[in-house]
Structure 1
Amino acid sequence: MARKFTVRPAGEDPLALPRVELPSLRDLVMDDPHPPSRGQTCGWEGCEAIVGAPYAGQPALSRGYCPRCRHPFDFTPRLRPGDLLGDQYRVVGCVGYGGLGWVYLAEDTQLDDQPVAIKGLINNEDEAALRTAVEERRYLTMLDHPGIVRIINYVTQPDPRDDGALTGYIVMEFVGGMTLAQIKDHIADAVTPYDGPRLYEHILAYGCLVLRAVGYLHGEKLLYCDLKPSNVMHYEDRIKVIDLGAVWRLGQRDGGPPVITEAFAAPEVLARGASALTERHDLFGVGRTLEELSDQATRQAQRPPGLGAESYRRVLARATADDPERRFGSAAEMSEQLWGVLREIHSLRLGREQPEPSTLFAPTSALLDSSLGRIPGLERWLEGDPRPLLASGLPRPEQVPLGLPVPFPDPADPGAALLGVPTDSGPRRLIEQLHAFPRPSAEIRLRTCRACLELGERDAAARELAIAVQLTGSAAPYDWRLSWHRALLRLADGAVAAARREFDEVYSTLPGEYAPKLALGYCAEHLGDHALAQRFYEAVWQRNRSQGSAAFGLARLRLAAGDRGGAVDILG
């Protein structure tokens, strides 16, 4: 089916997708519809046996009986070309097979034969139960988002093969494109334009766009539940989530087991069912969907440059963590980190910056530099010091905390409003003012911790951090701000290797942010791993040329390698 589409290269914008074109919708209609080649789960009263699969060299059966529960199955299309549903929708033919049966292309005879998609909803001998099920799902017709297929109507039709029992159908806008499951095959075969280093940018763009749709559903108190490649359509240069059959109301506790696909379902949902459904289950599905796509990229030419591959790995690792508390907390939070990684890969590939202010870290005017190239004082000349004539510029560990970006306070913290007010108080006076704050506040304690580090009072800073950890409570193991401040304390102690471990935790939590990469670049440089330091510094500097600390770091590395001209080029 995918061969019928033409796929053209994307535009230059980082979020631009290749353009999928189809000459005619009728080209999608199957001449001889066949059932799914690998069979399907029976599903009758929870039966998990596979029915209709090829067996002992024999082809798949279109109809028969479940070998386990003996319930009949029938994969032949229930609708034929020319059938009229609801006195309005004329069937053109079958275009695909989904979890609830065949999907048909039809024409709306009351709206100038506009194309629509028809999909089986339910087949139930209890007509009252069918009508109830249809009415309960009508709220889905109210959904309105460009990334979600629009549901137009629900209709019922007597099935002549089943003594006239009613069958329910859902009528949706028709989206003519390829599913991400088909795109996955293009990636595996390295079909243009999925054959080069821009591939990961396209995959991340899919993630950002899908998360817009998922975030909209979450805002409507709905869970998608069954996010997977076959449920996302790439049409033209856009995407749509195309199957709302599994949508679940947030907090819903009845209605039977949720519709999920095991390979894309979060571990807690597999273990506990509907009671474990939250937004984080959907985000797990998004992560697994992107993972399915990138796992097909086995050619070196498809790999992202520089640090991009590692940042991508970490963003997926967080999205698909077994512990739901370690995953992203919302679609917006996950999208922000995907977007950061996308811009990083885009800038590394093109050598062209993609700056955008961070929403998590405030910029700092200080530089991670200790007078690079400074001519030494007279005593060095008189004493004949054997060290290099020009200073390397690498700052001492205890100097680094004051030169790193500063985390914005958590807006949900009681002290966030106070910390948002600019102040020119020195660190001593600021500590006095913050200690007067009347409410328990972890953010107040973290700010006091940094003020103590400014004064060189390391033990006082450690006490403030300990109080912040206590106030954070059960969320402390997952709070990246605590890891960040622990790293600052380790630097104040001169324990750079320990600081690197803490900064690495922040990088895993925020793979799209500048700040942890800048800090890790310094740690790697200080510990002598210049190749790794260069990867971190380049990821920051290429993305945003105003990040002076990364430029000075790259210059120091080039000087250390004997490349004075390269150092001058960077600083120029």
Structure 2
Amino acid sequence: MSDELDLPGTGPSTAPGTAPWSVSQEMSRSNSGRTRRGSARSMSRGRLGAGLVEVPRVPYRDPKTAVLQNPEVPEAKRFCSKCGKKVGRRKDGKPGRVEGFCPQCGHAYSFTPKLAPGEVLHDQYEVLGCLAHGGLGWLYLALDHAVSDRWVVLKGLLDSGDADAMAAALAERRFLAEVEHPNIVKIHNFIRHEGSESGKLVEYIVMEYVGGESIKDMITSRRRDGRGDEALPLAQAIAYVLEILPALGYLHGVGLLYCDFKPDNMIHTEEQLKLIDLGAVRRIDDHHSPIYGTIGYQAPEIGTIGPSVFSDIYTVGRALAVMSFPFDFRGRGKDRLPTVAEQPLLGRFSSFHRLLLRATNPNPELRFSSAEDMAEQLTGVLREVLAIEDGVPRPGPSRQFTPERRRFGVEGALDLSEVALALPAPSVSTSDAAASWLATATAPDPEGLRKAPEVTVEVRLRIVRVLIESGDTEAAMRELESLTAPSMFDEPELDPAEDWRPDWYRGLAALVDRRPQDALRLFDAVCSAVPGEAAPKLALGVCAEAVGDLEGAAGWYELVWRTDHSYVSAAFGLARVLLARGDRARAVEVLLSVPDTSSQHLAAQIAAVRAQLGDCGAEDLVAAGERLHALDIDVHSHTQLSAEVLEAAYDYVTRNQAAEGRVLDCALSEHELRLGLERRYRTLARFAATAEERIALVDRANAVRPRTLV
């Protein structure tokens, strides 16, 4: 089986002129495994995966072991740098030529190294040999005798006769001089050296030696070891992308586009991840230079619109997919991701699927707007993935939503208007001119809000929310429509195609109007826009429950609760749905998982007692009594709940027969349970607020007390 991810018969892995160099592709095959720090055990990485994931440490690799003994470009990777057609291939049983002319366009090609071991460049860099080859040139290992004999990598042109390749190399030199980021390979110098054969001056870039393993090689080694998955563990793949997204964001921030993001170009070295190969980097405002990228990763609009921040986001989404599961990303999957039916992992981790779909949306404007935006949502997805895998909550703050404003469904029944008031609210953008005013605004009505110093988008969205919460959904939707509809001469103040908040508020209005099916559709769109957020998933759980989809509701509630125990409404919702499905034991378990640090801990304990009283057995009754006995609640509440427990026990005994065990202070016999109920009813009568209630309770006590002989 091939060590490469390239699929047979799919042509070149990169467009002509692409520079997908990876030192580690060759080092990983010959490295001795020596490490400067001894252990190669898994260790917790500080920022890697937001500090949530343990990733196997990649040992430092001895550079000398990485030098190729017989440097040559495999025939399967020989393509004309001008037209992209195959060159230098075997014919009639004879090996392909390493130098010659393209039979399609006549352009000269050469795949031979231009530097020999022992050759010294710039009176400073002594060449040890070739490390690897890429679309734009050979990589050579060298010693920098001017700086403590440090190891460096020299990168030159593979085909110095190609004008586009030379232009790309010069562009790389210009851009790299500006780049300074801990996760991007460092550039030390730029030199020219006269070729020994041609006598021409050749450009070389001197860069740091990154002695690690590429992500592509990690995937390849898993395939070679016969593990069958041909991909990284999902959490590890996400962790790698989270580590490298700030580097991509840095490039965007200084006006550069990367253009060729893929697993080949990420190197894991010891405890750090490096982005390498800036050969395809270009200025954001450059509309004339040749465009380089890799088939299977490159965005579909490159040929028409050209590169952009959005197209870089696309490549990250595609690379993350390739890292996470095997699929034909250059063949039939070139233009789409697998479906859930084709790739079960996407069904198990639905938020991850939604994130990939948004990152690789065919419409560039519907992708994530920045690397930071994608990283924020990917972090939320990672928390979910880890919680699903091991059941341990991974709570985290949200910059998109406030916490739950109040708890709902605690008393049992689900009130959709109550839900609209309780769900988290979209956070106010700190860049909005009225953000500080809104933080202290106390105006509870729309007219008061319109008196803001400046009626901004955020002020108008607050007006929409206030109108919805007051029940005036028609006025709220009129306000929202005026905010999102374009006028004859101007763009809308808020573009609903790029902003998920209009759908969120329309969903809230649909809840208040008792239209849960419409709300379900709207909150689903929000969930796809911000797949790492818990709030839309909590809302989807409510909608699914309201339309009678108990299985769907349980799935949403459990996803939220499993990930973050601060969303207590999800726990009550999950318990409610489980009880409706007849899974009483699981419902009790969920309620008991509400932590004692929560303000709803006691309410959850009381609900757990009541949940255990359904179609239960003697053991459940005994357990409910013991749990109630341990609760620290007032006398009236304790007595009332005791009566409920004893009523359930009495019903069980009268339908079955006496059983072993005691419930509260009563044996499981009709006589003792009657006495226990009589005492509770008489105690409750003393707490009655009205005479009628007191008389009714005394009558119940008299009716239940055991008959005695006079």
Report deviation, 1:55: 4.7
Report deviation, 1:306: 10
- Aligned counterpart for 1:330 among listed residues 370, 373, 384: 370
Question: For residues 395-443 of structure 1, what are the alpha-carbon distances to aligned partners after superposition, in whole Å with 9 as ceiling and x for unaligned?
Answer: 13333211211001234444434322252x43xxx31112334655333
- For structure 2, the residue ranges without an aligned partner over 5 or more in a row are 1-25, 34-39, 46-50, 329-339, 487-491, 593-710
**Equivalent residue, structure 1, for 2:623:** none
- The letter for the 2-side match of 1:320 is T
- Aligned counterpart for 2:398 among listed residues 331, 335, 358: 358
Aligned-partner SS, 1:38: helix
Mapping 1:85-484, distance limit 5 Å: 85-121=121-157, 134=170, 137-138=173-174, 140-162=176-198, 164-188=199-223, 199-254=233-288, 256-272=289-305, 276-296=306-326, 309-369=349-409, 371-372=411-412, 393=413, 395-423=414-442, 425-426=443-444, 430-437=445-452, 439=454, 441-470=456-485, 472-473=492-493, 475-484=495-504
Report deviation, 1:554: 1.4
Mapping 1:52-71, distance limit 5 Å: 52-55=88-91, 58-71=94-107
**Equivalent residue, structure 2, for 1:378:** none
Distance (whole Å) between structure 2 residues aligned to residue 148 and residue 449 of structure 1:
45
Whether the 8 Å contact between 1:52 and 1:63 is mirrored in structure 2 is yes
Distance (whole Å) between structure 1 residues aligned to residue 162 and residue 262 of structure 2:
31
- The letter for the 1-side match of 2:422 is G
Question: Cα distance 1:445–1:52, how it changes in 2: closer, same or farther (>3 A)?
Answer: same
Report deviation, 1:455: 1.7
Question: Cα distance 1:178–1:57, how it changes in 2: closer, same or farther (>3 A)?
Answer: farther
Question: Cα distance 1:290–1:35, how it changes in 2: closer, same or farther (>3 A)?
Answer: same
- The letter for the 1-side match of 2:498 is Y
Alignment TM-score, normalising by the size of structure 2: 0.70
Q: Which structure's residues are more often strand, by fraction?
A: 1
Bigger Cα Rg: 2
Aligned-partner SS, 1:268: coil
Q: How many residues are treated as equivalent by the alignment?
A: 535
**Equivalent residue, structure 1, for 2:528:** 508
- For structure 1, the residue ranges without an aligned partner over 5 or more in a row are 373-392
**Equivalent residue, structure 2, for 1:382:** none
Aligned-partner SS, 1:270: coil
**Equivalent residue, structure 2, for 1:375:** none
Distance (whole Å) between structure 1 residues aligned to residue 543 and residue 206 of structure 2:
58
Question: For residues 122-178 of structure 1, what are the alpha-carbon distances to aligned partners after superposition, in whole Å with 9 as ceiling and x for unaligned?
Answer: 865799x9799759834523422111000111111111222x011111111011122
Question: Cα distance 1:499–1:34, how it changes in 2: closer, same or farther (>3 A)?
Answer: same
Report deviation, 1:8: 5.0
Distance (whole Å) between structure 2 residues aligned to residue 143 and residue 288 of structure 1:
25
Question: Cα distance 1:182–1:341, how it changes in 2: closer, same or farther (>3 A)?
Answer: same
Farther-moved stretch of structure 1 (242-251 vs 136-145):
136-145
Aligned-partner SS, 2:420: helix
- The letter for the 1-side match of 2:271 is D
Report deviation, 1:297: 8.1
Distance (whole Å) between structure 1 residues aligned to residue 171 and residue 493 of structure 2:
44
Report deviation, 1:24: 1.9
Distance (whole Å) between structure 2 residues aligned to residue 567 and residue 133 of structure 1:
63
Report deviation, 1:37: 3.5
Whether the 8 Å contact between 2:231 and 2:322 is mirrored in structure 1 is no
Report deviation, 1:563: 3.2
Report deviation, 1:189: 5.4
Question: Cα distance 1:22–1:323, how it changes in 2: closer, same or farther (>3 A)?
Answer: same
Aligned-partner SS, 1:21: coil
- The letter for the 2-side match of 1:396 is D
- The letter for the 2-side match of 1:263 is G
- Please, what is the CA RMSD of the aligned residues? 3.0
Whether the 8 Å contact between 1:445 and 1:467 is mirrored in structure 2 is no
Distance (whole Å) between structure 2 residues aligned to residue 564 and residue 408 of structure 1:
37
Whether the 8 Å contact between 2:231 and 2:324 is mirrored in structure 1 is no
Report deviation, 1:112: 2.5
Distance (whole Å) between structure 1 residues aligned to residue 530 and residue 585 of structure 2:
34
- The letter for the 1-side match of 2:551 is A
Aligned-partner SS, 2:303: helix
Farther-moved stretch of structure 1 (447-456 vs 133-142):
133-142
Distance (whole Å) between structure 2 residues aligned to residue 198 and residue 516 of structure 1:
29
Question: For residues 524-567 of structure 1, what are the alpha-carbon distances to aligned partners after superposition, in whole Å with 9 as ceiling and x for unaligned?
Answer: 22223222222222221122111101111111122123333332
Question: Cα distance 1:66–1:8, how it changes in 2: closer, same or farther (>3 A)?
Answer: farther
Farther-moved stretch of structure 1 (332-341 vs 179-188):
179-188
Farther-moved stretch of structure 1 (183-192 vs 525-534):
183-192
Distance (whole Å) between structure 2 residues aligned to residue 157 and residue 83 of structure 1:
11
Alignment TM-score, normalising by the size of structure 1: 0.86
- The letter for the 2-side match of 1:90 is E
Report deviation, 1:304: 9.3
Distance (whole Å) between structure 2 residues aligned to residue 168 and residue 306 of structure 1:
46
Distance (whole Å) between structure 1 residues aligned to residue 103 and residue 161 of structure 2:
22
Aligned-partner SS, 1:410: coil
Distance (whole Å) between structure 2 residues aligned to residue 497 and residue 22 of structure 1:
56
Distance (whole Å) between structure 1 residues aligned to residue 101 and residue 268 of structure 2:
36
Question: Cα distance 1:463–1:306, how it changes in 2: closer, same or farther (>3 A)?
Answer: same
Distance (whole Å) between structure 2 residues aligned to residue 171 and residue 267 of structure 1:
34
**Equivalent residue, structure 2, for 1:517:** 537
Report deviation, 1:103: 1.0
Farther-moved stretch of structure 1 (7-16 vs 326-335):
7-16
Aligned-partner SS, 1:262: coil
Whether the 8 Å contact between 1:307 and 1:539 is mirrored in structure 2 is no
Farther-moved stretch of structure 1 (146-155 vs 95-104):
95-104
**Equivalent residue, structure 2, for 1:380:** none
- The letter for the 2-side match of 1:24 is D
Question: Cα distance 1:197–1:111, how it changes in 2: closer, same or farther (>3 A)?
Answer: closer
Distance (whole Å) between structure 1 residues aligned to residue 416 and residue 432 of structure 2:
30
**Equivalent residue, structure 2, for 1:552:** 572
Whether the 8 Å contact between 1:308 and 1:345 is mirrored in structure 2 is no
Distance (whole Å) between structure 2 residues aligned to residue 485 and residue 79 of structure 1:
64
Report deviation, 1:458: 2.0
Report deviation, 1:457: 1.4
Question: Cα distance 1:84–1:198, how it changes in 2: closer, same or farther (>3 A)?
Answer: closer
Question: Cα distance 1:350–1:304, how it changes in 2: closer, same or farther (>3 A)?
Answer: farther
Aligned-partner SS, 2:177: helix
**Equivalent residue, structure 1, for 2:676:** none
Question: For residues 214-238 of structure 1, what are the alpha-carbon distances to aligned partners after superposition, in whole Å with 9 as ceiling and x for unaligned?
Answer: 0111122111121122221122232
Report deviation, 1:343: 1.1
